[in-house]
Structure 1
Amino acid sequence: MAAAALHRGLDAQGYIAREGSLGRVPDAFRPVVAAARGRLPAVFGARLHSAYLYGSIPRGTAREGRSDLDLLVALHQEPTEADRADARVLGAGLDEEFAQLDGVGTLLYGRGRLLSDLERYDLGWFVACLCTPLLGEDLATYLPRYRPDSLLARETNGDLGLLLPRWRERITDAGDSHEARRPLVRFMSRHLVRTGFTLVMPRWGGWTSDLGEMAEAFASYYPARAGHMRTAALLGHEPTGDAAVLRSYVEDLGPWLAEEYARVHGVKAPRP
Protein backbone atom coordinates (compact mmCIF):
# COMPACT_ATOMS: atom_id res chain seq x y z
CA MET A 1 0.00 0.00 0.00
CA ALA A 2 1.34 3.43 -0.87
CA ALA A 3 2.54 5.53 2.03
CA ALA A 4 0.02 8.24 1.15
CA ALA A 5 -2.81 5.81 1.81
CA LEU A 6 -1.67 5.16 5.36
CA HIS A 7 -3.03 6.91 8.42
CA ARG A 8 -0.60 7.05 11.35
CA GLY A 9 1.26 4.06 9.97
CA LEU A 10 -1.86 1.87 9.68
CA ASP A 11 -3.40 0.30 6.62
CA ALA A 12 -7.08 0.51 5.71
CA GLN A 13 -7.90 -2.39 8.06
CA GLY A 14 -6.19 -0.75 11.04
CA TYR A 15 -3.10 -2.98 11.06
CA ILE A 16 0.44 -1.63 11.38
CA ALA A 17 1.86 -1.38 7.88
CA ARG A 18 5.36 -2.66 7.28
CA GLU A 19 7.71 0.29 7.17
CA GLY A 20 10.70 0.59 4.92
CA SER A 21 11.61 -1.02 1.61
CA LEU A 22 14.69 -1.54 -0.52
CA GLY A 23 13.25 1.04 -2.91
CA ARG A 24 13.57 3.73 -0.22
CA VAL A 25 17.27 3.18 0.46
CA PRO A 26 19.05 6.49 -0.28
CA ASP A 27 21.45 6.39 -3.21
CA ALA A 28 24.47 6.98 -0.99
CA PHE A 29 23.70 3.84 0.99
CA ARG A 30 22.92 1.50 -1.90
CA PRO A 31 26.54 0.30 -2.16
CA VAL A 32 26.47 -0.44 1.58
CA VAL A 33 23.32 -2.54 1.27
CA ALA A 34 24.70 -4.35 -1.77
CA ALA A 35 27.91 -5.17 0.09
CA ALA A 36 26.01 -6.49 3.11
CA ARG A 37 23.80 -8.63 0.88
CA GLY A 38 26.82 -10.05 -0.89
CA ARG A 39 28.86 -10.81 2.24
CA LEU A 40 26.26 -12.29 4.58
CA PRO A 41 26.04 -15.67 2.79
CA ALA A 42 29.82 -15.97 2.78
CA VAL A 43 29.98 -15.24 6.51
CA PHE A 44 27.18 -17.50 7.72
CA GLY A 45 26.92 -20.05 4.92
CA ALA A 46 24.32 -22.77 5.42
CA ARG A 47 23.55 -21.41 8.90
CA LEU A 48 21.84 -18.39 7.33
CA HIS A 49 18.06 -18.51 7.01
CA SER A 50 17.29 -14.88 6.15
CA ALA A 51 18.49 -11.33 6.66
CA TYR A 52 16.74 -7.97 7.03
CA LEU A 53 17.43 -4.25 7.18
CA TYR A 54 15.77 -1.99 9.71
CA GLY A 55 16.16 1.59 10.87
CA SER A 56 16.77 4.76 8.91
CA ILE A 57 18.39 3.24 5.82
CA PRO A 58 15.34 1.26 4.57
CA ARG A 59 13.05 4.06 5.76
CA GLY A 60 14.92 6.46 3.48
CA THR A 61 15.87 8.90 6.25
CA ALA A 62 19.55 7.95 6.71
CA ARG A 63 22.13 10.75 6.81
CA GLU A 64 25.64 10.33 5.43
CA GLY A 65 28.21 10.08 8.21
CA ARG A 66 25.50 10.06 10.89
CA SER A 67 23.47 6.89 10.33
CA ASP A 68 24.38 3.31 11.08
CA LEU A 69 23.54 0.13 9.20
CA ASP A 70 21.07 -1.99 11.18
CA LEU A 71 20.83 -5.67 10.28
CA LEU A 72 18.80 -8.53 11.68
CA VAL A 73 20.07 -12.00 10.76
CA ALA A 74 17.95 -15.12 11.30
CA LEU A 75 19.89 -18.37 11.55
CA HIS A 76 18.46 -21.86 11.28
CA GLN A 77 19.65 -22.52 14.85
CA GLU A 78 20.30 -20.28 17.83
CA PRO A 79 23.46 -18.20 17.30
CA THR A 80 26.73 -19.23 18.91
CA GLU A 81 29.53 -17.03 20.20
CA ALA A 82 31.36 -17.82 16.97
CA ASP A 83 28.38 -16.48 15.01
CA ARG A 84 28.41 -13.28 17.06
CA ALA A 85 32.13 -12.88 16.49
CA ASP A 86 31.59 -13.33 12.76
CA ALA A 87 28.88 -10.65 12.82
CA ARG A 88 31.21 -8.21 14.60
CA VAL A 89 33.94 -8.78 12.01
CA LEU A 90 31.45 -8.25 9.18
CA GLY A 91 30.16 -5.04 10.76
CA ALA A 92 33.62 -3.66 11.44
CA GLY A 93 34.64 -4.30 7.85
CA LEU A 94 31.61 -2.52 6.42
CA ASP A 95 31.99 0.41 8.82
CA GLU A 96 35.64 0.84 7.88
CA GLU A 97 35.02 0.57 4.15
CA PHE A 98 32.05 2.94 3.82
CA ALA A 99 32.57 6.49 5.08
CA GLN A 100 28.84 7.20 4.91
CA LEU A 101 28.28 4.82 7.83
CA ASP A 102 28.50 5.67 11.52
CA GLY A 103 28.65 2.07 12.74
CA VAL A 104 27.01 -1.26 12.00
CA GLY A 105 24.73 -3.17 14.39
CA THR A 106 23.69 -6.77 13.78
CA LEU A 107 21.00 -8.62 15.71
CA LEU A 108 21.34 -12.41 15.58
CA TYR A 109 18.48 -14.81 16.39
CA GLY A 110 17.46 -18.33 15.63
CA ARG A 111 14.46 -18.82 13.35
CA GLY A 112 12.64 -20.78 16.04
CA ARG A 113 12.86 -17.98 18.56
CA LEU A 114 11.66 -15.35 16.11
CA LEU A 115 8.56 -17.44 15.34
CA SER A 116 7.92 -18.60 18.92
CA ASP A 117 4.70 -17.84 20.78
CA LEU A 118 6.70 -16.01 23.47
CA GLU A 119 8.17 -13.59 20.94
CA ARG A 120 5.10 -13.18 18.75
CA TYR A 121 4.36 -9.67 20.02
CA ASP A 122 7.96 -8.56 20.38
CA LEU A 123 10.61 -9.95 18.04
CA GLY A 124 7.96 -11.38 15.74
CA TRP A 125 6.26 -8.01 15.45
CA PHE A 126 9.66 -6.40 14.91
CA VAL A 127 10.41 -8.65 11.95
CA ALA A 128 6.93 -8.38 10.45
CA CYS A 129 6.53 -4.61 10.78
CA LEU A 130 9.90 -2.92 11.19
CA CYS A 131 12.25 -5.10 9.12
CA THR A 132 12.80 -5.02 5.36
CA PRO A 133 13.67 -8.37 3.73
CA LEU A 134 17.17 -8.48 2.28
CA LEU A 135 17.96 -12.18 1.82
CA GLY A 136 16.16 -15.50 2.12
CA GLU A 137 12.60 -16.46 3.04
CA ASP A 138 10.61 -13.69 4.72
CA LEU A 139 9.55 -14.84 8.20
CA ALA A 140 6.67 -12.35 8.14
CA THR A 141 4.81 -14.96 6.08
CA TYR A 142 4.40 -17.00 9.27
CA LEU A 143 3.46 -14.14 11.56
CA PRO A 144 0.12 -12.43 12.22
CA ARG A 145 -0.81 -8.86 11.46
CA TYR A 146 -0.56 -6.42 14.35
CA ARG A 147 -2.63 -3.62 15.79
CA PRO A 148 -1.30 -0.83 18.06
CA ASP A 149 -2.95 -2.28 21.18
CA SER A 150 -2.04 -2.75 24.83
CA LEU A 151 -0.78 -6.31 24.30
CA LEU A 152 1.75 -5.08 21.76
CA ALA A 153 2.73 -2.21 24.06
CA ARG A 154 3.28 -4.59 27.00
CA GLU A 155 5.34 -7.12 25.08
CA THR A 156 7.55 -4.65 23.23
CA ASN A 157 8.58 -2.28 26.01
CA GLY A 158 7.08 -3.55 29.25
CA ASP A 159 10.50 -4.53 30.62
CA LEU A 160 12.03 -1.11 31.27
CA GLY A 161 12.04 -1.71 35.02
CA LEU A 162 14.20 -4.80 34.50
CA LEU A 163 16.60 -2.94 32.21
CA LEU A 164 17.35 0.01 34.50
CA PRO A 165 19.79 -1.85 36.81
CA ARG A 166 21.81 -2.91 33.75
CA TRP A 167 21.79 0.66 32.47
CA ARG A 168 23.22 1.87 35.79
CA GLU A 169 26.02 -0.68 35.49
CA ARG A 170 26.83 0.46 31.96
CA ILE A 171 26.95 4.08 33.09
CA THR A 172 29.33 3.16 35.90
CA ASP A 173 31.52 1.19 33.49
CA ALA A 174 31.72 4.21 31.16
CA GLY A 175 33.38 6.20 33.94
CA ASP A 176 34.47 9.73 33.11
CA SER A 177 34.90 9.10 29.40
CA HIS A 178 32.87 11.48 27.28
CA GLU A 179 33.32 9.22 24.25
CA ALA A 180 32.13 6.15 26.19
CA ARG A 181 29.06 8.01 27.48
CA ARG A 182 27.97 9.41 24.10
CA PRO A 183 26.71 6.10 22.62
CA LEU A 184 24.94 5.39 25.92
CA VAL A 185 23.10 8.71 25.69
CA ARG A 186 22.09 7.89 22.12
CA PHE A 187 20.92 4.37 22.95
CA MET A 188 19.08 5.23 26.17
CA SER A 189 17.48 8.35 24.69
CA ARG A 190 16.04 6.36 21.80
CA HIS A 191 14.88 3.55 24.06
CA LEU A 192 13.10 5.93 26.44
CA VAL A 193 11.39 7.82 23.61
CA ARG A 194 10.17 4.58 22.05
CA THR A 195 8.96 3.35 25.43
CA GLY A 196 7.19 6.64 26.05
CA PHE A 197 5.54 6.37 22.67
CA THR A 198 4.35 2.78 23.09
CA LEU A 199 2.95 3.78 26.48
CA VAL A 200 0.47 6.03 24.62
CA MET A 201 0.40 4.12 21.31
CA PRO A 202 -3.04 2.48 21.85
CA ARG A 203 -4.60 5.85 22.66
CA TRP A 204 -2.76 7.64 19.84
CA GLY A 205 -3.97 4.91 17.52
CA GLY A 206 -1.06 4.20 15.22
CA TRP A 207 2.64 3.57 14.75
CA THR A 208 5.63 5.73 13.86
CA SER A 209 9.38 5.25 14.10
CA ASP A 210 10.13 8.98 13.94
CA LEU A 211 11.57 10.01 17.32
CA GLY A 212 10.18 13.53 17.09
CA GLU A 213 6.70 12.30 16.26
CA MET A 214 6.93 9.75 19.06
CA ALA A 215 7.82 12.48 21.55
CA GLU A 216 4.95 14.69 20.40
CA ALA A 217 2.46 11.82 20.66
CA PHE A 218 3.65 11.17 24.21
CA ALA A 219 3.53 14.87 25.08
CA SER A 220 -0.15 15.11 24.20
CA TYR A 221 -0.98 12.68 27.01
CA TYR A 222 1.75 13.52 29.55
CA PRO A 223 2.36 17.28 29.25
CA ALA A 224 4.24 17.42 32.55
CA ARG A 225 6.92 15.14 31.05
CA ALA A 226 6.79 16.56 27.52
CA GLY A 227 10.01 18.55 27.84
CA HIS A 228 11.95 15.55 29.05
CA MET A 229 10.78 13.42 26.16
CA ARG A 230 11.38 16.08 23.52
CA THR A 231 14.92 16.53 24.81
CA ALA A 232 15.48 12.77 24.71
CA ALA A 233 14.29 12.69 21.10
CA LEU A 234 16.83 15.36 20.17
CA LEU A 235 19.62 13.51 21.98
CA GLY A 236 18.64 10.32 20.18
CA HIS A 237 19.78 12.04 16.98
CA GLU A 238 22.54 14.29 18.31
CA PRO A 239 23.87 12.70 21.51
CA THR A 240 26.26 14.33 23.94
CA GLY A 241 28.41 12.62 26.56
CA ASP A 242 26.77 14.49 29.44
CA ALA A 243 26.83 12.41 32.61
CA ALA A 244 23.92 14.45 34.04
CA VAL A 245 21.69 13.26 31.19
CA LEU A 246 22.43 9.62 31.97
CA ARG A 247 21.81 10.18 35.68
CA SER A 248 18.45 11.77 34.93
CA TYR A 249 17.50 8.77 32.81
CA VAL A 250 18.16 6.16 35.49
CA GLU A 251 17.15 8.26 38.52
CA ASP A 252 14.12 10.16 37.23
CA LEU A 253 12.63 9.65 33.77
CA GLY A 254 13.37 5.92 33.53
CA PRO A 255 11.94 4.88 36.93
CA TRP A 256 8.85 7.06 36.44
CA LEU A 257 8.25 5.66 32.97
CA ALA A 258 8.73 2.06 34.11
CA GLU A 259 6.21 2.50 36.92
CA GLU A 260 3.63 4.21 34.71
CA TYR A 261 4.09 1.60 32.00
CA ALA A 262 3.48 -1.25 34.43
CA ARG A 263 0.39 0.52 35.75
CA VAL A 264 -1.10 1.07 32.30
CA HIS A 265 -0.05 -2.05 30.36
CA GLY A 266 1.45 -4.49 32.82
CA VAL A 267 4.88 -6.12 32.70
CA LYS A 268 6.32 -8.00 29.77
CA ALA A 269 6.14 -11.79 29.95
CA PRO A 270 9.39 -13.09 31.48
CA ARG A 271 12.03 -14.56 29.21
CA PRO A 272 14.26 -17.54 30.07
Structure 2
Amino acid sequence: MNSTNRQRSIKCPTRLGTDEDGYVINQTSIRHIQPEFETVLFKAIELVKEAFGEQLHSIYLYGSIGRGTAVAGQSDLDLTVLVHEDVDATELVEQTERLLTEHPEVIKIDYDIGRLDAALDPANRFEWGFWLRHLCTCVDGEDVSTQFPRMKPDARVSEALDQDLVSSIEAAKSKLLRGQMSHLEKRSIVKRVIRGWYLTINVKDESFATTVDECLEILRLYYPEDQQVVQGKTFLIQNDISNQQLLDYLNDVDWM
Protein backbone atom coordinates (compact mmCIF):
# COMPACT_ATOMS: atom_id res chain seq x y z
CA MET A 1 0.00 0.00 0.00
CA ASN A 2 1.47 3.38 -0.94
CA SER A 3 1.75 6.23 1.54
CA THR A 4 -1.19 8.17 0.08
CA ASN A 5 -3.56 5.25 0.42
CA ARG A 6 -2.27 4.55 3.91
CA GLN A 7 -2.96 8.14 4.97
CA ARG A 8 -6.53 7.83 3.72
CA SER A 9 -7.15 4.51 5.42
CA ILE A 10 -6.07 5.31 8.98
CA LYS A 11 -8.39 7.16 11.32
CA CYS A 12 -8.09 9.01 14.60
CA PRO A 13 -7.18 7.69 17.07
CA THR A 14 -4.67 5.59 15.15
CA ARG A 15 -3.54 3.50 18.15
CA LEU A 16 -0.33 2.93 16.20
CA GLY A 17 2.36 1.10 18.17
CA THR A 18 0.01 -0.29 20.82
CA ASP A 19 -1.51 -3.73 21.29
CA GLU A 20 -5.20 -4.62 21.48
CA ASP A 21 -5.23 -3.75 25.18
CA GLY A 22 -3.66 -0.33 24.58
CA TYR A 23 -0.16 -1.11 25.90
CA VAL A 24 2.86 0.24 24.06
CA ILE A 25 4.65 -2.45 22.03
CA ASN A 26 8.43 -2.70 22.36
CA GLN A 27 9.56 -3.08 18.77
CA THR A 28 13.25 -3.59 19.56
CA SER A 29 14.84 -7.03 19.82
CA ILE A 30 18.22 -8.70 19.39
CA ARG A 31 16.50 -10.86 16.78
CA HIS A 32 15.82 -7.78 14.65
CA ILE A 33 19.44 -6.70 14.27
CA GLN A 34 20.43 -6.79 10.60
CA PRO A 35 23.66 -8.70 9.79
CA GLU A 36 25.43 -5.64 8.36
CA PHE A 37 25.29 -3.91 11.76
CA GLU A 38 26.34 -6.81 13.99
CA THR A 39 30.09 -6.13 13.83
CA VAL A 40 29.94 -2.42 14.63
CA LEU A 41 27.47 -3.13 17.46
CA PHE A 42 29.77 -5.76 18.94
CA LYS A 43 32.78 -3.41 18.72
CA ALA A 44 30.85 -0.54 20.31
CA ILE A 45 29.83 -2.79 23.19
CA GLU A 46 33.46 -3.79 23.70
CA LEU A 47 34.49 -0.11 23.74
CA VAL A 48 31.95 0.63 26.47
CA LYS A 49 33.11 -2.34 28.54
CA GLU A 50 36.76 -1.30 28.21
CA ALA A 51 36.02 2.35 29.02
CA PHE A 52 33.86 1.79 32.11
CA GLY A 53 35.10 -1.53 33.49
CA GLU A 54 33.55 -2.48 36.82
CA GLN A 55 31.40 0.65 36.83
CA LEU A 56 29.39 -0.75 33.92
CA HIS A 57 26.11 -2.44 34.76
CA SER A 58 24.32 -3.04 31.46
CA ILE A 59 23.99 -1.91 27.84
CA TYR A 60 20.78 -1.53 25.83
CA LEU A 61 20.17 -1.03 22.13
CA TYR A 62 17.41 1.27 20.85
CA GLY A 63 16.51 3.02 17.61
CA SER A 64 16.36 1.73 14.05
CA ILE A 65 19.08 -0.92 14.45
CA GLY A 66 17.17 -2.39 17.37
CA ARG A 67 13.98 -2.38 15.32
CA GLY A 68 15.64 -3.90 12.26
CA THR A 69 14.82 -0.93 10.03
CA ALA A 70 18.26 0.68 9.79
CA VAL A 71 19.77 1.76 6.46
CA ALA A 72 23.50 1.29 5.96
CA GLY A 73 25.28 4.62 5.59
CA GLN A 74 22.28 6.58 6.87
CA SER A 75 21.40 5.28 10.35
CA ASP A 76 22.80 5.86 13.84
CA LEU A 77 23.79 3.23 16.38
CA ASP A 78 21.99 4.14 19.61
CA LEU A 79 22.99 2.70 22.97
CA THR A 80 21.77 3.29 26.49
CA VAL A 81 24.38 2.54 29.15
CA LEU A 82 23.71 2.05 32.86
CA VAL A 83 26.62 2.52 35.28
CA HIS A 84 26.99 2.18 39.04
CA GLU A 85 28.70 5.54 39.55
CA ASP A 86 29.38 8.65 37.47
CA VAL A 87 31.93 7.97 34.73
CA ASP A 88 34.22 9.93 32.42
CA ALA A 89 33.25 9.23 28.81
CA THR A 90 36.12 11.14 27.18
CA GLU A 91 38.09 8.05 26.21
CA LEU A 92 34.94 6.32 24.96
CA VAL A 93 34.12 9.25 22.67
CA GLU A 94 37.66 9.31 21.26
CA GLN A 95 37.68 5.57 20.61
CA THR A 96 34.24 5.79 19.03
CA GLU A 97 35.46 8.38 16.51
CA ARG A 98 38.12 5.92 15.42
CA LEU A 99 35.56 3.13 15.19
CA LEU A 100 33.33 5.22 12.93
CA THR A 101 36.15 5.66 10.41
CA GLU A 102 36.27 1.86 10.10
CA HIS A 103 32.51 1.37 9.92
CA PRO A 104 30.71 3.73 7.50
CA GLU A 105 27.56 1.62 7.82
CA VAL A 106 26.59 3.93 10.72
CA ILE A 107 26.88 7.71 10.59
CA LYS A 108 27.28 8.18 14.34
CA ILE A 109 27.09 6.32 17.65
CA ASP A 110 25.08 7.85 20.47
CA TYR A 111 25.49 6.81 24.10
CA ASP A 112 22.81 7.72 26.64
CA ILE A 113 24.62 7.16 29.94
CA GLY A 114 22.74 6.99 33.24
CA ARG A 115 23.22 5.70 36.76
CA LEU A 116 21.56 2.48 37.77
CA ASP A 117 20.13 3.96 40.96
CA ALA A 118 18.47 6.78 39.01
CA ALA A 119 17.05 4.33 36.48
CA LEU A 120 15.54 2.17 39.23
CA ASP A 121 14.21 5.10 41.27
CA PRO A 122 10.38 4.85 41.31
CA ALA A 123 10.25 8.61 40.79
CA ASN A 124 11.74 8.05 37.32
CA ARG A 125 9.40 5.28 36.20
CA PHE A 126 7.80 7.47 33.52
CA GLU A 127 11.22 8.34 32.10
CA TRP A 128 13.77 5.57 32.68
CA GLY A 129 11.19 2.89 33.37
CA PHE A 130 9.27 3.52 30.17
CA TRP A 131 12.44 3.97 28.13
CA LEU A 132 14.03 0.69 29.16
CA ARG A 133 10.85 -1.39 29.10
CA HIS A 134 9.37 -0.13 25.83
CA LEU A 135 12.14 1.36 23.69
CA CYS A 136 15.24 -0.74 24.38
CA THR A 137 16.56 -4.28 24.24
CA CYS A 138 19.40 -5.45 26.51
CA VAL A 139 22.59 -6.44 24.66
CA ASP A 140 24.99 -6.82 27.60
CA GLY A 141 24.75 -7.22 31.37
CA GLU A 142 21.76 -7.69 33.65
CA ASP A 143 18.49 -6.69 31.98
CA VAL A 144 16.55 -4.48 34.43
CA SER A 145 13.79 -3.58 31.97
CA THR A 146 11.62 -6.45 33.23
CA GLN A 147 11.43 -4.76 36.63
CA PHE A 148 9.06 -2.16 35.14
CA PRO A 149 5.41 -2.73 34.25
CA ARG A 150 3.97 -2.41 30.77
CA MET A 151 2.57 1.04 30.14
CA LYS A 152 0.00 2.70 27.93
CA PRO A 153 0.50 6.12 26.30
CA ASP A 154 0.69 8.51 29.22
CA ALA A 155 1.10 12.29 29.44
CA ARG A 156 3.74 11.84 32.14
CA VAL A 157 5.82 9.71 29.76
CA SER A 158 5.43 12.21 26.93
CA GLU A 159 6.44 15.09 29.21
CA ALA A 160 9.50 13.18 30.42
CA LEU A 161 10.62 12.41 26.86
CA ASP A 162 10.05 16.03 25.83
CA GLN A 163 11.67 17.65 28.86
CA ASP A 164 14.81 18.85 27.08
CA LEU A 165 13.11 19.95 23.86
CA VAL A 166 13.10 23.69 24.62
CA SER A 167 16.79 23.72 25.54
CA SER A 168 17.61 21.65 22.43
CA ILE A 169 15.82 24.14 20.19
CA GLU A 170 17.52 27.12 21.81
CA ALA A 171 20.93 25.48 21.48
CA ALA A 172 20.22 24.78 17.80
CA LYS A 173 19.23 28.40 17.19
CA SER A 174 22.47 29.58 18.76
CA LYS A 175 24.56 27.29 16.55
CA LEU A 176 22.63 28.38 13.46
CA LEU A 177 23.25 32.05 14.21
CA ARG A 178 26.97 31.29 14.51
CA GLY A 179 26.91 29.24 11.32
CA GLN A 180 28.24 26.20 13.17
CA MET A 181 25.56 23.59 12.48
CA SER A 182 26.23 20.63 10.19
CA HIS A 183 23.61 19.13 7.89
CA LEU A 184 23.47 16.06 10.13
CA GLU A 185 22.77 18.24 13.16
CA LYS A 186 20.09 20.14 11.23
CA ARG A 187 18.28 16.92 10.33
CA SER A 188 18.59 15.78 13.93
CA ILE A 189 16.89 18.87 15.39
CA VAL A 190 14.12 18.72 12.77
CA LYS A 191 13.45 15.12 13.79
CA ARG A 192 13.54 16.17 17.45
CA VAL A 193 10.96 18.89 16.83
CA ILE A 194 8.64 16.56 14.89
CA ARG A 195 8.93 13.93 17.61
CA GLY A 196 8.32 16.50 20.32
CA TRP A 197 5.23 17.83 18.59
CA TYR A 198 3.84 14.33 18.13
CA LEU A 199 4.32 13.65 21.85
CA THR A 200 1.86 16.46 22.62
CA ILE A 201 -0.94 14.48 20.93
CA ASN A 202 0.05 10.82 21.29
CA VAL A 203 -2.06 10.27 24.40
CA LYS A 204 -5.11 11.65 22.61
CA ASP A 205 -4.22 9.44 19.64
CA GLU A 206 -3.73 6.43 21.96
CA SER A 207 -0.53 5.69 20.06
CA PHE A 208 3.23 5.51 20.38
CA ALA A 209 4.98 6.05 17.05
CA THR A 210 8.60 4.93 16.83
CA THR A 211 9.76 6.62 13.62
CA VAL A 212 9.71 10.24 12.45
CA ASP A 213 7.69 9.21 9.37
CA GLU A 214 5.00 7.73 11.62
CA CYS A 215 5.00 10.91 13.71
CA LEU A 216 4.52 13.03 10.58
CA GLU A 217 1.75 10.79 9.30
CA ILE A 218 -0.18 11.14 12.55
CA LEU A 219 0.47 14.89 12.77
CA ARG A 220 -0.98 15.30 9.28
CA LEU A 221 -4.19 13.67 10.47
CA TYR A 222 -4.60 16.17 13.31
CA TYR A 223 -3.13 19.22 11.57
CA PRO A 224 -3.84 18.69 7.84
CA GLU A 225 -3.32 22.35 6.91
CA ASP A 226 -0.36 23.16 9.15
CA GLN A 227 2.71 24.24 7.21
CA GLN A 228 5.02 23.16 10.04
CA VAL A 229 4.13 19.55 9.21
CA VAL A 230 4.72 20.08 5.49
CA GLN A 231 7.99 21.93 6.06
CA GLY A 232 9.27 19.29 8.47
CA LYS A 233 8.78 16.54 5.91
CA THR A 234 10.41 18.67 3.21
CA PHE A 235 13.48 19.27 5.36
CA LEU A 236 13.97 15.54 5.89
CA ILE A 237 14.27 14.86 2.16
CA GLN A 238 16.37 17.93 1.30
CA ASN A 239 20.07 17.46 0.67
CA ASP A 240 20.72 20.86 2.16
CA ILE A 241 18.86 23.05 4.65
CA SER A 242 19.89 26.68 4.82
CA ASN A 243 20.57 28.24 8.20
CA GLN A 244 17.85 30.85 7.67
CA GLN A 245 15.27 28.27 6.59
CA LEU A 246 15.82 26.20 9.72
CA LEU A 247 16.00 29.25 11.97
CA ASP A 248 12.62 30.42 10.65
CA TYR A 249 11.22 26.93 11.18
CA LEU A 250 12.40 26.80 14.79
CA ASN A 251 11.17 30.33 15.51
CA ASP A 252 7.72 29.35 14.24
CA VAL A 253 7.32 26.49 16.72
CA ASP A 254 4.21 27.54 18.65
CA TRP A 255 2.73 24.32 20.03
CA MET A 256 4.92 23.96 23.15
Give the shorter-chain TM-score range. 0.7 to 0.9
Gaps of 5+ in 2: 1-14
The alpha-carbon deviation at position 167 of structure 1 amounts to: 2.9
The alpha-carbon deviation at position 29 of structure 1 amounts to: 0.8
Gaps of 5+ in 1: 1-6, 259-272
Q: Which one has the bigger helix percentage?
A: 1
CA distance in 2, matches of 1:46, 1:238: 44
Structure 1: which amino acid aligns with 2:108? G
SS of the residue 2:139 aligns to: strand
Corresponding position: 1:66 with 2:74? yes
CA contact (8 A) 2:61 2:139 kept: yes
Relative distance call for 1:49 and 1:202 in structure 2 (3 A) is same
CA distance in 2, matches of 1:127, 1:237: 31
CA contact (8 A) 2:165 2:192 kept: no
The alpha-carbon deviation at position 85 of structure 1 amounts to: 0.6
The alpha-carbon deviation at position 192 of structure 1 amounts to: 0.9
Higher RCO by CA contacts (8 Å cutoff, separation 6 or greater) = 2
| Percent identity for Structure 1 against Structure 2 | 25
In the other structure, the counterpart of 1:243 is 243
The alpha-carbon deviation at position 244 of structure 1 amounts to: 2.4
CA distance in 1, matches of 2:72, 2:153: 32
SS of the residue 2:126 aligns to: coil
Length-normalised TM-score, structure 2: 0.85
The alpha-carbon deviation at position 148 of structure 1 amounts to: 0.8
CA distance in 1, matches of 2:123, 2:238: 35
Corresponding position: 1:106 with 2:107? no
Cα deviation digits, residues 34-71 of structure 1 (max 9, x gap): 22233332221101000011111111111111112111
Say what the alpha-carbon RMSD is for the aligned residues: 2.1
Relative distance call for 1:26 and 1:244 in structure 2 (3 A) is same
SS of the residue 1:208 aligns to: coil
Corresponding position: 1:157 with 2:158? no
SS of the residue 2:252 aligns to: helix
Corresponding position: 1:201 with 2:209? no
CA distance in 1, matches of 2:32, 2:188: 24
> How many corresponding residue pairs?
242
Correspondences of 1:161-176 after superposition (within 5 Å): 161-173=166-178, 175=179
In the other structure, the counterpart of 2:92 is 87
Corresponding position: 1:25 with 2:33? yes
Structure 2: which amino acid aligns with 1:251? N
SS of the residue 2:81 aligns to: strand
Relative distance call for 1:231 and 1:209 in structure 2 (3 A) is farther
Length-normalised TM-score, structure 1: 0.80
Cα deviation digits, residues 78-120 of structure 1 (max 9, x gap): 33xxx22122023213211112121111111111222224432
In the other structure, the counterpart of 1:187 is 188
CA contact (8 A) 1:70 1:105 kept: yes
Query: Which residue of the other structure, out of 47, 55, 58, is the alignment partner of 1:50?
Result: 58
The alpha-carbon deviation at position 237 of structure 1 amounts to: 6.4
Relative distance call for 1:159 and 1:93 in structure 2 (3 A) is closer
